[in-house]
């Protein structure tokens, strides 16, 4: 009857989101008066989960699971949920978690709420708050099924430490057949992705051309940030689609979002609204982004950004 949480990993180590979803699962378990069981796949050391409230880890070790496969992973989580008689299953909001979630919902015949940003506001009926209309609104949703799946939005609940430790238990689920084969993976390494980033540096048409992105990448590198761009910039082919943030691109829920030369169309603002602190740098003081930002600099990006880079380098050196 415990709460089950799927703790994502990469190359044998937990991703940061694993600790956030574990923290969330602990909050739900406290509300329900039960314990937290995590399911971890191919993680060598699972002891960190105890810090975030996990009581037991079902530890799956199987080289056939080295590559993510949504159908097989969903089925593994289903077997864990059944073994634990879990009534609530917590997952994250990565591309992989969102891929497997609907398959898991069908397997468990469970109602699923995605993009959830707070611990349940009520447990009977089970009610969660989620973002909707691409962050233009919040929606309260009751999940009415016996088993419930909650997808927690990245960087919304945060990490909450508890005193405790987890016990690990080897778990050997059967593997489902999948009709999908991975031919190749093309992944940028050593670069912060928008999904995982705490800081995002984003630029728009104000940069005038793709040849001017060097300073954006440098600013991102100084801050340990991911780079992003506005829709027109990706439509013009100045930057890849994977960097497009906004309503039809990627949502951003960073701690700090820095918008450079982006006017702030409603679709763009919706996509980045879940970010905690927003900074805008723009020559046009009438740009709509200034109404949505916390801090603003009215000035020429080609002057402000290089100076900001130098000052940030000095600041980082002092830290």
Partner 1 sequence: MKILVCISHVPDTTSKINFANDNAKFDATGVQFVINPNDEFGLTRAMWFKEKQGATVTVVNVGGSETEPTLRKALAIGADAAIRVNTAATDGFSVAKQLANVVKDGGYDLVIAGRESIDYNGGMVPGMMAGLTNANFINNCIGLEIEDNSVKAVREIDGGKETLSTSLPLVIGGQKGLVEESDLRIPNMRGIMMARQKALTVVEPIAANVETISTKFEKPAAKGAVKLVSPDNLDELINLLHNEAKVI
Q: Which residues are part of a known binding site for FAD?
A: 205, 261-268, 282
Nearer to partner 1, 45 or 235 (CB): 235
Q: Does residue 294 bind partner 1 (CB under 8 A)?
A: yes
- Write down the least CB distance from residue 109 to partner 1, Å: 8
Q: Closer to partner 1 at the Cβ: 50 or 249?
A: 249
Distance CA 246, CA 37 (A): 35
Pair of tokens at residue 197: 């980033």
Residue 208 exposed, middle or buried by CB count within 10 Å (0-12, 13-18, 19+)? exposed
**Backbone phi, then psi, for 304, in 5-degree steps?**
-70, -45
Instruction: Write down the least CB distance from residue 17 to partner 1, Å.
Output: 10
Nearest to 21 by CA among 127, 119, 115, 92: 92
Give the span between the Cα atoms of 96 and 78, in whole angstroms.
16
* Binding characters for partner 1, 239-278, by CB under 8 A (x = yes): --xx-x--xxx-----xx--------xxx-----x--xx-
Residue 147: CB minimum distance to partner 1, A:
10
**The one among 33, 174, 181, 286 contacting partner 1 by CB under 8 A:** 181
* 115 belongs to the binding site for partner 1 (CB under 8 A): yes
How many whole angstroms separate alpha carbon 78 and alpha carbon 86? Answer: 10
- The CA distance from 184 to 310, in Å, is 40
Q: Which of residues 91-110 bind partner 1 (CB under 8 A)?
A: 94-96, 98-103, 105-107, 110
To 5 degrees, how large is the angle CA 211–CA 195–CA 236?
30
9 touching partner 1, by CB under 8 A: no
CB of 152 to partner 1, least distance (A): 14
Residues belonging to the chain: 319
Cβ atoms of 43 and 10 closer than 8 Å:
no
For partner 1, the closer CB: 172 or 242: 242
- C-beta separation of 187 from 215 below 8 A: no
Listing DSSP states for 48-107 in one string gives GGGGGT--EEEEE--GGGSS--HHHHHHHHHHHHHHTT-SEEEE--SHHHHHHHHHHHHH
Q: Judged by CB, which is closer to partner 1: 27, or 293?
A: 293
Query: Is residue 159 part of the contact set for partner 1 (CB under 8 A)?
Result: no
- For partner 1, the closer CB: 132 or 160: 132
Of the pair 145, 221, the CB lying nearest partner 1 is at: 145
Contact between 280 and partner 1 by CB under 8 A: the answer reads yes
Cα 61 from Cα 42, distance rounded (Å): 5
Per rule CB under 8 A, is residue 288 in the interface with partner 1? no
State the number of binding residues for partner 1 (CB under 8 A): 90
- For the annotated binding site, the residues are 205, 261-268, 282
* Residues of this chain, 184-223, that bind partner 1 according to CB under 8 A: 184-188, 191, 193-196, 198-199, 223
CA–centroid distance for 198 within its chain: 10
For partner 1, which is the closer residue by CB, 57 or 308?
308
- Contact between 290 and partner 1 per CB under 8 A: yes
């Amino acid at each position: 009857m415990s709460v089950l949480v799927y703790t994502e990993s990469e190359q044998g180590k937990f991703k940061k989101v694993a600790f956030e979803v574990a923290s969330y699962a602990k909050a739900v378990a406290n509300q329900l008066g039960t314990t937290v069981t995590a399911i971890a796949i191919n993680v060598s050391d699972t002891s960190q989960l105890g810090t975030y409230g996990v009581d037991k880890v079902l530890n799956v070790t199987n080289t056939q699971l080295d590559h993510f496969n949504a159908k097989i992973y969903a089925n593994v989580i289903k077997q864990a949920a059944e073994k634990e008689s879990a009534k609530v299953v917590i997952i994250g909001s990565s591309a992989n978690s969102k891929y497997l979630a609907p398959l898991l919902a069908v397997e468990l015949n469970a109602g699923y709420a995605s993009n959830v940003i707070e611990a349940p506001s009520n447990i009977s009926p089970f009610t969660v708050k989620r973002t909707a209309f691409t962050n233009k609104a919040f929606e309260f949703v009751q999940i009415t099924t016996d088993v419930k799946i909650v997808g927690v939005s990245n960087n919304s609940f945060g990490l909450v430490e508890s005193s405790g430790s987890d016990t690990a238990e080897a778990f050997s689920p059967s593997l489902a057949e999948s009709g999908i084969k991975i031919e190749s993976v093309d992944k940028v390494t050593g670069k912060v992705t928008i999904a995982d980033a705490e800081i995002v540096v984003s630029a728009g048409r104000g940069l005038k051309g793709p040849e001017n992105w060097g300073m954006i990448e440098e600013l991102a590198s100084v801050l340990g940030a991911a780079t992003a761009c506005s829709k027109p910039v990706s439509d013009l082919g100045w930057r890849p689609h994977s960097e497009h943030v906004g309503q039809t691109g990627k949502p951003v829920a960073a701690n700090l979002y820095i918008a450079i030369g982006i006017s702030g169309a409603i679709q763009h603002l919706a996509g980045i609204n879940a970010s905690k602190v927003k900074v805008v740098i723009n020559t046009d003081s009438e740009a709509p982004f200034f109404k949505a930002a916390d801090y603003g600099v009215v000035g020429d990006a080609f002057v402000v950004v290089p100076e900001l880079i130098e000052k940030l380098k000095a600041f980082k050196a002092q830290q």
